[in-house]
Structure 1
């Protein structure tokens, strides 16, 4: 059974390992980025565990804009108590645990917490091959993002929460 919880400092090595198994080097979060996210936005950084093993993660700061900007991958500020837009900078599930609904459950957990804190939307960018996955979860494709992260083409996906 999958259990969800807020991230802890002790999770760092497992998170870096998971991230590098799921993303290309150019798009993966660095160890330094994870340290900053754990220290600054642990209230919107969740892990999925099975039998004490981290099998998935979702994280992102609450931002003022409806869209993600590239500076967020380097500069993160503490989340406001209420309001704003919940961003997703990373959603990853270990290849050994994919196709079991864990990514969907992580998104649902993030959405539940975001609604409790009166966030306006959940916003993220994704590659073209993931648009359909996010649309199935209520996200609306807002077109090509201005993001140049990793040198890839990204699409703005936004899910209204009201």
Structure 2
């Protein structure tokens, strides 16, 4: 498996994986993903097996410490350094789950975040996925102030101490 930055031609596979892992209300649209590829290419990573996209992680580096609903509609530009690494989405093709791809994507994003001197990585998660993030060093900071897809989301945060 190889983890690389996203390329525009990855869009069809990204959308396929997104729609396998999320409900229509939760999933990002083609337009949103085009915008994310354009604006977030340095914080949009894909996992490839035999050159095929099997998973991805994406989100902006912002001054905001938590994911905010408006960010899904208007992708923020990345801060060059500092701030917080937000994760909009982490998704793995169901055929490849159970191979630590999600954890490896989180690790690669964390490495990049540390190099860019981010203070934390944060995301929102449905309750059923919270144990995965806890296993990967995140802390559950409680229910998020989010109405995304009319579901209950939890703020998960991993503080970064600046060490590589």
TM bucket (normalised to shorter chain) is over 0.9
Other structure's SS at 1:80 match = coil
Separation (CA, whole Å) in 2 of partners of 1:134 and 1:114: 17
Separation (CA, whole Å) in 1 of partners of 2:125 and 2:76: 22
Instruction: Spell out the pairing of 1:35-114 with structure 2 (5 A cutoff).
Output: 35-114=34-113
Instruction: After TM superposition, give the deviation of residue 77 of structure 1 in Å.
Output: 2.5
Divergent runs of 4+, >6 A: none
Match of 2:144 in 1: 145
Separation (CA, whole Å) in 2 of partners of 1:86 and 1:102: 19
Instruction: After TM superposition, give the deviation of residue 118 of structure 1 in Å.
Output: 0.2
Instruction: After TM superposition, give the deviation of residue 80 of structure 1 in Å.
Output: 1.4
- The TM-score normalised by the length of structure 1 is 0.98
- Residues 11-42 of structure 1: CA distance to partner in whole angstroms, max 9, x if unpaired? 11111111001111110111011000000011
- The TM-score normalised by the length of structure 2 is 0.97
Instruction: After TM superposition, give the deviation of residue 64 of structure 1 in Å.
Output: 1.1
* Larger displacement relative to structure 2 (99-108 or 131-140): 131-140
Match of 1:30 in 2: 29
Instruction: After TM superposition, give the deviation of residue 65 of structure 1 in Å.
Output: 1.6
Other structure's SS at 1:147 match = coil
Q: How many residues align?
A: 161
Match of 2:158 in 1: 159
Instruction: Give structure 1 stretches of 5+ with no counterpart.
Output: none
Other structure's SS at 2:14 match = helix
- Residues 123-145 of structure 1: CA distance to partner in whole angstroms, max 9, x if unpaired? 00000011111011111100000
Instruction: Give structure 2 stretches of 5+ with no counterpart.
Output: none
RMSD (Å) for aligned C-alpha atoms:
0.6
Match of 1:134 in 2: 133
